[in-house]
A and B are shown apart, each in its own frame.
Chain A
Amino acid sequence: MARKRVDLDRRTVLKGAAAGAAATIFAPNIVAAQSKVVRIGMPTILSGRVAQLGTSSRNAVQMEVEKINAAGGLAGRQIEMVIRDSKGQPQEAARVSRELVNSDGCEILLDAEASSGSFAVQEVAKDLGVLVMHTNSETSSLTADPKIRIPLAFRSCRQGIHDAVASGAYAAEIAKAKKLNRWGTCSPDYAYGRDNTQLFVEYLKHFYPQAEVTTEAWPKLFQPDYTEVITRVLQSKPQALYSALWGGDLTSWVDQANIYALFSQMEVFAINMADYTALTAVKNLPKGIHSATRYIKTYPATKANAEWGDAYRARFKEYPTNWSWENWVGINFIAEAAKKANSADGKKIAEAMRGLKIDCPFGTDGTVTMRADDQTVIGYAIGWGTTIPQEPYVPEVKGATWDTILQLEAEWKKRNNYT
């Protein structure tokens, strides 16, 4: 059979290629059966140094979306997640978020960005008028400061001020019992490290006024060698040391401090230690480091939490992270609010979400609440305990009291003219 030869001149090919490229690049997917599916856009960090946190956020959301969809989705509409990498850059987070709404037809944003990205996404949500759930930004001002807060933005994760009160109270109790008066600090030199440490010291002194900071070390973010920092701390001989180092920085620091036997010479309080990513990465995890829980399946010590941690591990071959549970809370708040509002409309979901209480494996009493006045989550589990070198890593955790947290948070807000 003779083949028919198709004549294509250069112009036709070029035109076709241009049209094809334009269609691929700019095709508005908004038409994708809008009535059936509700698209939720999720900008997060999937590449670079903290990619593991972004991936663990995505994993948690995928697990939950499957369950929510099996139970009928958002008011009868199935959820379709559109997840994009922001590379941890705020301007990319802004661009990707705009693209998710404007071009991919996402009606809701689940913002799984670190702090700086979340402020950029907040501006996009303000501009475009879409519902946004910030799932990872711990910076208190995002929801506390009325100048920054917007009606359609919510937060489903822990925040700095809650952590600081809980940490100060716990550390003060140990300090009182062991007469730890001379304190040192060693935290990364950027906004989070400085804010976190300053607030910790403030609440440590609030609960134990005898505490005094005699040495401060501020290693650079992502610093590879901590020798100078460690020797400086050792020379000043504090009785206790507080650190807000996190992730790879924390594990490198612990490994290097081990060489100098730092952990046998003082009580160490490392707020970000009790997260599996850090606990499993340290070569020889010292016994007795005090840490706040980030995510640990033994706290809250409930069946629901342990089962969720195991299910996650069975599926993804690693433990969940701090960001995982925070995203669980975010997507489930959206689902429960949609159920209450019987609608997948962002504004109606927002209305239903204010003051909503949902069952949650990560709540101190099995529930968490979306506080109505500043649209941020409260009642999640915060506790402190000490490490052991093997599973369960932090066997006993002392939970913080939310009454104290809320009372001191209210005073803090007043001091900052947030109320």
Chain B
Amino acid sequence: MMATRPNLVRDVAIAAVALIILLLLPYVWPSKMVNDLIIRVSAFALFATSLNLLVGYTGMVSFGHGMFFGFGAYAFGLSMQRLGVSIPMAFLITVVSSALLGLVVGAISIRLKDIYFSFITLAFQMLLYSTVIAWVPLTGGDQGLMGGIPRPPFLGIDLSIEAHRYAFAVTIMVIGLLILRQIVESPFGYTLRMIRDNSERATFLGINVFRAKLTAFVIAGVFGAIGGMVMALFVSGAYPEFVNWTMSGEGIFMIMLGGLSTFVGPAAGALILSLLNDVITRGTEHHGLFLGAVILLFALGLRKGVTDFVADWFRLRREASSRSGS
């Protein structure tokens, strides 16, 4: 525990600087398009980083993580529309309900390994997707939650104002990533890495692997749902596409593009994928072809994410300087 203290101070400092930069950005670069992009990236960064807690840190390749993203969007939207509660209350409802969902789905899924785990998570996601499509009176079916999500002001924050919405989204992202960072750097985070590398060894060391995996699954689910909530606030609605398997696919792409061996990799991947999507959609209708080609290039050609290259470059430089120094 003592060893994590300096890291905590460093992480908080980095998060504070990042937050200040993001909050000042609209004043330096007043572009609504950049603001919109960063809000969406905030949602996706939480989603992809939480997925990486499972994929990269625990070795559980979930194909159904989009379930939490969509669930978060619907839970938040429905709480606001139907219950008429305040935004912090709806946030709390989203967090608690997604944790319960994670607990139920996780308790069943993590008993299975490898591809079976991947597929059962996908199956749960499709179950939720079908429910959203079929339960028209509650969810609006394929048309999504119609009529907009109300955004009543709270604590002096009015999310119907674009500047407030932007500040809220980036603050949630930075705090969310900071918490996730503390989790992966904690003894629990290292337990997850041990389970990933050798779960038998972890069992023999007296670790309750099931409980550790389930905890990771629930935490990932909650942060995935918070990502969905940010997205719901941005589009003022929730749509079945958020719960569809393609959302899980995009999460995996983000991790692949950004790199799974660094903490910020998935967030960088979220930025890259969003940028690629926006730029390619502007230029061509054959965006699937171009996006697919880029992903193929990463998967087959580079075999690493962008931040993996950056990390390697730093490592090599450090090694070179230590060699020359010695």
Interface residues of chain A, those whose CB is within 8 Å of chain B, are 24-26, 28, 46-47, 51, 84-85, 87, 89-92, 94-96, 98-99, 102-103, 115-116, 119-120, 122-123, 126-127, 139, 141, 145, 147-148, 189-192, 194, 221
User: Cβ of A148 and Cβ of B287 under 8 Å apart?
Assistant: no
Interface digits, B127-162 against A, CB 8 Å rule (1 contact, 0 not)?
Answer: 000000110100011111011100000000000101
Interface residue from B31, B40, B235 paired with A120 (Cβ < 8 Å)? B235
Considering the complex of A and B, which 4 residue pairs feature the smallest CB-CB distances, nearest first?
A: A191-B141, A102-B32, A103-B33, A123-B236
Interface residue from A25, A96, A99, A116 paired with B275 (Cβ < 8 Å)? A25
- Could you pull out 18 A-B pairs where Cβ atoms are within 8 angstroms? A25-B279, A26-B31, A84-B281, A89-B239, A92-B281, A94-B236, A98-B32, A115-B143, A116-B239, A119-B143, A119-B146, A119-B237, A123-B237, A126-B236, A127-B236, A189-B134, A190-B142, A194-B136
* Cα separation A116 to B140 with both chains bound (whole Å): 9
User: Cβ of B32 and Cβ of A116 under 8 Å apart?
Assistant: no
Interface residue from A84, A102, A119 paired with B36 (Cβ < 8 Å)? A102
Query: Nearest A residue to B36 by beta-carbon distance?
Result: A98
* Cα separation A96 to B277 with both chains bound (whole Å): 11
User: Cβ of A191 and Cβ of B235 under 8 Å apart?
Assistant: no
User: Cβ of B34 and Cβ of A90 under 8 Å apart?
Assistant: no
Q: Within 8 Å of chain A (Cβ to Cβ): is B242?
A: yes
User: Cβ of A85 and Cβ of B281 under 8 Å apart?
Assistant: yes
* Cα separation A127 to B165 with both chains bound (whole Å): 12
User: Cβ of B143 and Cβ of A85 under 8 Å apart?
Assistant: no
User: Cβ of A120 and Cβ of B239 under 8 Å apart?
Assistant: yes
User: Cβ of A91 and Cβ of B36 under 8 Å apart?
Assistant: no
Query: Nearest B residue to A149 by beta-carbon distance?
Result: B147
Query: Nearest B residue to A127 by beta-carbon distance?
Result: B236
* Cα separation A417 to B279 with both chains bound (whole Å): 44
Interface residue from B31, B242, B279, B288 paired with A28 (Cβ < 8 Å)? B31
Q: Within 8 Å of chain A (Cβ to Cβ): is B197?
A: no
* Cα separation A89 to B244 with both chains bound (whole Å): 11
Query: Nearest A residue to B149 by beta-carbon distance?
Result: A123
Q: Within 8 Å of chain A (Cβ to Cβ): is B278?
A: yes
Q: Within 8 Å of chain A (Cβ to Cβ): is B285?
A: yes
* Cα separation A236 to B41 with both chains bound (whole Å): 53
B-chain residues with CB within 8 Å of residue A28 when the two chains form the complex: 31, 33
User: Cβ of B146 and Cβ of A148 under 8 Å apart?
Assistant: yes
Given known pairs A91-B231, A91-B239, the reply for A116 and B148 (CB within 8 Å) is no
Query: Nearest B residue to A91 by beta-carbon distance?
Result: B235
A-chain residues with CB within 8 Å of residue B239 when the two chains form the complex: 89-91, 116, 120
* Cα separation A119 to B281 with both chains bound (whole Å): 21
B-chain residues with CB within 8 Å of residue A127 when the two chains form the complex: 160, 162, 236
B-chain residues with CB within 8 Å of residue A191 when the two chains form the complex: 136, 140-143
Least CB distance from A338 to B in Å reads: 26
B-chain residues with CB within 8 Å of residue A95 when the two chains form the complex: 36, 40, 235, 278
Least CB distance from B76 to A in Å reads: 15
Given known pairs A25-B278, A192-B142, the reply for A147 and B235 (CB within 8 Å) is no
